Amino acid sequence: MIYIHIPFCKQKCSYCNFHFSTSLNFKDEMLRAMKAEIQLRKDELHNKTLKSLYFGGGTPSILSVDEISALVDEVLRYFSFEKDIEITLEANPDDLDKHFLKQLAATPINRLSIGTQSFFEADLKLMNRAHNASEAESSIKRAQDSGFENLSIDLIYGSPTSNLEIWKENLRKTIDLEVPHISSYALTVEPKTALESWISKGKVVSPKEEEQNREFYYLSDFLKEHGFEHYEVSNFAKPGFYSKHNSAYWKYQEYLGIGPSAHSYNGFDVRSWNVANNQQYIKKLTNKILAKEEELLSQEDQFNEMIMIGLRTMWGVDLSHVKNKFSDALQEHFQTEIKSKIEEGLLVIENDHLKIPEKHWFMADGIASDLFVV
């Protein structure tokens, strides 16, 4: 699978620490550089037939449909697509007008991930989103009217401008809109963001973990009552609408990341990442030089990643994989660390897979980190 990072946004959301620029001055140069990277790295994936192509960002919908199509065509020069390939475009509601959607529907893009975040104005203003509450709803309807059935929306809970009743209304509206996939995250205060600055200056109150905990479990219960499956801590889907792309990440499959700050993984022991600087990225690729660094993952690194990723999913960690892949010393560490967690009920073994019971998923990252080799 391939991930393409589009490093441009109209404006900066208050909570975001992803790599992007609000200047489009070098957009054409960037797109040429990304095409050059695709060509230079065409032999890195063992499987040349893709089951997933994902445009993330940044804001991929800031591009024109012709620019998006040109990137798809460039991928097709070196790879083939499975018959049922999932091709996702992350999009902001304010970009999804009828003209854009009509053009997009004529391309291979068959899944939209819409950055809704909330259907309430106060939340959107705090987050400094480019769309308003009306656009949050109308963009979904327009996408459906344009033929996009495979939709995912992002929702953020635990905002200081929200509460449980507002959160319930966000979820009711989502159900009414018949969206088949939801990615939902607690509002997190990341370093060097506007939100962090506002909180430190007392302009905004800090999100409350207790409230986020309550809203997380309401989210899970409510969506399951309405036919969703909770297949990863932050992801919910109707049957048949799991994200193929993200599921492949969570099952340790190889992927190629194109664009500044994008990461790649060979499915075994090598991870690489591109420079998170647009100008450096463009300069290197213009000269046909890859703008990446890489590291060889130690057994301990691989073990820790497997634990962190696996325990966030409904599939858990395959115990036969642990037995076949890791040294006796790591297996001994693993068995020692999980013993007390199983006794406490924080971990269970089902069908030779280690899992966190769903009632403890809000604490998944903490439980997983306790098992790490440090």
Is 180 within the bounds of a domain?
Answer: yes
Residue where one domain finishes, among candidates 218, 249, 280:
249
Q: Are 121 and 132 in contact (CB under 8 A)?
A: yes
User: What pLDDT is recorded for position 175?
Assistant: 97
pLDDT in tens, the chain (374 residues): 999 999 998 888 888 877 778 788 899 999 999 999 999 999 999 999 999 999 999 999 999 999 999 999 999 999 999 999 999 999 999 999 999 999 999 999 999 999 999 999 999 999 989 899 999 999 999 999 999 999 999 999 999 999 999 999 999 999 999 999 999 999 998 998 999 999 999 998 999 999 999 999 999 999 999 999 999 999 999 999 999 999 999 988 999 999 999 999 999 899 999 999 999 999 999 999 999 999 999 999 999 999 999 999 999 999 999 999 999 999 999 999 999 999 999 999 999 999 999 999 999 999 999 999 98
166: Cβ–Cβ under 8 A, 6 or more apart, which residues? Answer: 120, 123
133: Cβ–Cβ under 8 A, 6 or more apart, which residues? Answer: 118, 119, 120, 121, 124
Q: How many CB atoms lie within 10 A of CB 185?
A: 17
Residue type at 89 in one-letter notation: L
Q: Are 127 and 118 in contact (CB under 8 A)?
A: yes
User: What pLDDT is recorded for position 71?
Assistant: 98
Q: Which two tokens stand for residue 168?
A: 């319930």
354 shares a domain with 241? no
User: What pLDDT is recorded for position 121?
Assistant: 93
Tokens 């089951």, residue located: 51
Q: Bridge-partner residues for 350, per DSSP?
A: 353
What's the rounded Cα separation, in Å, for the pair 312 and 112? Answer: 23
Q: Which domain holds residue 182?
A: 2-249
316 shares a domain with 183? no
What's the rounded Cα separation, in Å, for the pair 291 and 274? Answer: 5
CB-count exposure of residue 363 (10 Å: 0-12, 13-18, 19+): middle
Q: Which two tokens stand for residue 104?
A: 């997009």
Is 83 within the bounds of a domain?
Answer: yes
Q: What is the pLDDT of residues 264-294, one digit of tens each?
A: 999 989 999 999 999 999 999 999 999 999 9
Distances (CA, A) of 127 to 17, 102, 217, 343: 12, 29, 23, 41
Q: How many domains does the chain have?
A: 2
Is 132 within the bounds of a domain?
Answer: yes
173 shares a domain with 58? yes
Q: Are strands 292-296 and 263-265 parallel, antiparallel or unpaired?
A: unpaired
Q: Are 115 and 72 in contact (CB under 8 A)?
A: no
Say which CATH number the domain at 359 has.
1.10.10.920
Residue where one domain finishes, among candidates 249, 265, 282:
249
159 shares a domain with 20? yes
Is 204 within the bounds of a domain?
Answer: yes
Q: What is the pLDDT of residues 106-146, one digit of tens each?
A: 999 999 999 999 999 999 999 989 899 999 999 999 999 99
210 shares a domain with 64? yes
37: Cβ–Cβ under 8 A, 6 or more apart, which residues? Answer: 258, 259, 274, 285, 290, 291
Is 266 within the bounds of a domain?
Answer: no
95 shares a domain with 9? yes
307 shares a domain with 228? no
Residue where one domain finishes, among candidates 216, 232, 249:
249
How distant is the alpha carbon of residue 78 from its chain centre? Answer: 25
User: What pLDDT is recorded for position 24?
Assistant: 86
346 shares a domain with 237? no
Say which CATH number the domain at 132 has.
3.30.750.200
